[in-house]
Amino acid sequence: MKLMSRAKGARFQTDFDSSANTVRALGSFLHGESHRGMSMGPGSPRLANGLARLPRPVRRRIFAGMGYQQAIPLDRVRDVRIEDLDEWVVQQYGPGPYPALVIGSTSGAVVHLAAALGAPFLPQTQLVSVRDTATHPDDPRAALDAIAPLARRVAANNPGIAVYHMHDPGQDRAMLEKMAYLRLKRLELGEAYERFIEERLAPGAPIIQVECTRDWRTREIGDRAYFQFGCLGGIPEEEYHDTGERITEFLHTAKSDRDGWEPPETDARRPEAEWGFHPSMAEGVRRVAERSGHPVRRLTFEDPQVPSAFVADFYRSWYRERGMEGNRLLVESYVQWDPLWVLKVGAVPFWLRFNMRPAQEALIDYLEGLEGGDRGTGDGSEPDPYDEIRLNVFSQGLKSPGLVPPEEWRETIERYARRKAEVIGVDEEAYPVDPGSTMRFQPAFEGIEGRHPLPTPLPVDAIDTFLAEHGGGRYGVGWS
């Protein structure tokens, strides 16, 4: 029965999802393997480069086709069970015992924090995509009407979750031409996660509950079912609901027959569909942890991008304690991360939520702080910039509003790197319509010169020590 449940869970997973990639990357890492090809297939620069040479319209159709293949047929929606997805999650990891567990909101920075602790990650939110070829991406009202019955059915069949139909024609346009997103957010811990805590953690192993407090305006479409228009990226939330010239120009460039978006009225702010933490699950975590003798620690922040600076400096401090220079920065974006190769090449990881202007601004803020000497891991009095900065950015299949072109990324890192700055694993001519980017990023990381042995995982109290010295407030994170 469990084998069948795992098979179902794998079929319902969406391979480019942030939660699925967090689980796959850490599952691979804890088995001593890389996140090559997003842990699903080969990382092949040759194949990736061949795809990049195809005409742009063909590459664009490849993105839409990949989305369609990832999505389940409409008649399979009735079979979606969160328990199947949870079983898939826990089976990505070994039997343990693990020295710690991370659970809750997803963030690329949290991927590297968990890797440093030798800890698996259990996501609160998972993505199920459904095939939808009839809805116009720029008609959010029609999208709501078409998908609401499906969202209500999934919610009714799964009483322990909230279901978010997330519709973003700004960033996800290439995928929305043939699919719709249903994000399933756990309100209860669930049997599979409870068993994991009880059976696979070392005695007294801490549980780190990650809570991203970001919310978004939404509309209730049923019991525990919601519609969210837009998501975190290069378009401010307000701009989704009050279309201006920039969106009109974007739609014209995209050859849409619409001049703007007219989303349905919203009724409340709720935890953001992909990244936000729903506090209802916390009671289940507390109850099972208390029963099993595991202390619960909380890591809180307002945006998934926020902990990137903290984790980068945490790694840099760790490297220097090991006698390494810690002067090599690797900037990753969205799901193109690899915790194994970060440690092997001795790179400090800095994660970007996406490839948009707000992510660039976050990177600049971090690097500016190092130039001024107030964000380094020394005594805070001297500038502490990086000697080397390498950057990789995710391709999502279209030029969205707020997209930062590769030449700007290069200019940014060249401004702050003392010796070497490289944009790696990116075909700049094909970007951002580069269907091979997921096959190219990990070999690019592997190509960084220099190797270091994998270190022993850090204890959770290393976070206490680091933040006691440097302060969580300067990083925008709460730790308790």
pLDDT for 204-216, tens place per residue?
999 999 999 999 9
Is the bond leading into 432 cis (omega within 30 degrees of zero)? yes
Span 44-53, pLDDT tens digits: 778 888 888 8
> What is the identity of the amino acid at 36?
R
- The pLDDT value given to residue 215: 98
Q: How confident is the model at residue 63 (pLDDT cuts 50, 70, 90)?
A: confident
Q: Say if residue 251 is in the same domain as residue 283.
A: yes
- The pLDDT value given to residue 375: 58
User: How many domains does the chain fold into?
Assistant: 2
Q: Say if residue 290 is in the same domain as residue 309.
A: no
- The pLDDT value given to residue 43: 65
- The pLDDT value given to residue 42: 63
- The pLDDT value given to residue 273: 98
Span 430-455, pLDDT tens digits: 999 998 888 888 888 988 999 999 99
DSSP notation for 418-473: SSEEEE-S--TTTTTS-TTHHHHHHHHHHTSS---PPPPPPPTHHHHHHHHHH-SG
What is the average pLDDT value for the chain, to the nearest integer? 93
Question: Which residues fall within 8 angstroms of residue 385, CB to CB, at 6 or more apart?
Answer: 367, 370, 371, 416, 417, 418
Span 139-162, pLDDT tens digits: 999 999 999 999 999 999 999 999
Residue ending a domain, among 269, 300, 331, is 300
Q: Say if residue 321 is in the same domain as residue 221.
A: no
Q: Say if residue 363 is in the same domain as residue 221.
A: no
3-state secondary structure of 138: coil
CA angle at residue 55 from 52 to 58, to 5 degrees?
A: 90
Span 252-269, pLDDT tens digits: 999 999 999 999 999 999
- The pLDDT value given to residue 10: 78
Span 361-381, pLDDT tens digits: 999 999 999 987 555 555 444
- CA–CA separation, 69 and 297 (whole Å): 39
On the question of pLDDT at 427 being above 50, the answer is yes
Q: Say if residue 212 is in the same domain as residue 324.
A: no
Mean pLDDT of the 131-143 span: 95
Residue ending a domain, among 260, 283, 300, is 300
Neighbours of 99 (CB within 10 A): 17
Strand pairing category for 215-222 and 225-229: antiparallel
Strand pairing category for 207-212 and 161-167: unpaired
Q: Say if residue 316 is in the same domain as residue 281.
A: no
Q: Say if residue 52 is in the same domain as residue 194.
A: yes
Length of the chain (residues): 480
DSSP notation for 281-328: HHHHHHHHHHHHT--EEEEEESSTTTHHHHHHHHHHHHHHHTT----E
Q: How confident is the model at residue 360 (pLDDT cuts 50, 70, 90)?
A: very high
On the question of pLDDT at 91 being above 90, the answer is yes
Q: Say if residue 405 is in the same domain as residue 322.
A: yes
- Residue 256 belongs to domain spanning: 2-300
Q: Say if residue 166 is in the same domain as residue 315.
A: no
Mean pLDDT of the 242-246 span: 92
Q: Say if residue 168 is in the same domain as residue 209.
A: yes
Instruction: Name the residue with higher pLDDT: 42 or 390.
Output: 390
Q: How confident is the model at residue 2 (pLDDT cuts 50, 70, 90)?
A: very low
Residue ending a domain, among 265, 300, 335, is 300
Q: Say if residue 154 is in the same domain as residue 39.
A: yes
Strand order of the sheet with strand 215-222? 125-131, 179-186, 161-167, 225-229, 215-222, 268-271
Up-side HSE of residue 122: CA atoms within 13 Å toward CB?
29
Q: What share of the chain in percent tops pLDDT 70?
A: 95
Mean pLDDT of the 27-49 span: 82
- CA–CA separation, 232 and 358 (whole Å): 10
Mean pLDDT of the 105-127 span: 99
What phi and psi, each to the nearest 5 degrees, are found at residue 244?
A: -120, -165
| Residues in a beta bridge with 225 | 163, 222
- The pLDDT value given to residue 381: 46
- The pLDDT value given to residue 377: 52
What phi and psi, each to the nearest 5 degrees, are found at residue 165?
A: -85, 110
CB of 191 within 8 A of CB of 82?
A: no
Mean pLDDT of the 346-369 span: 97
- CA–CA separation, 224 and 185 (whole Å): 10
Mean pLDDT of the 414-422 span: 97
CB of 227 within 8 A of CB of 221?
A: yes
Q: Say if residue 251 is in the same domain as residue 308.
A: no
- The pLDDT value given to residue 11: 83
Q: How confident is the model at residue 86 (pLDDT cuts 50, 70, 90)?
A: very high
Closest CA to 312 of 300, 329, 292, 336: 329
- The pLDDT value given to residue 226: 99
- The pLDDT value given to residue 472: 79
Mean pLDDT of the 66-88 span: 93
3-state secondary structure 144-204: HHHHHHHHHHHHHHCCCEEEEEEECCCCCHHHHCCEEEEEEEECCCCHHHHHHHHHHECCC
- The pLDDT value given to residue 383: 64
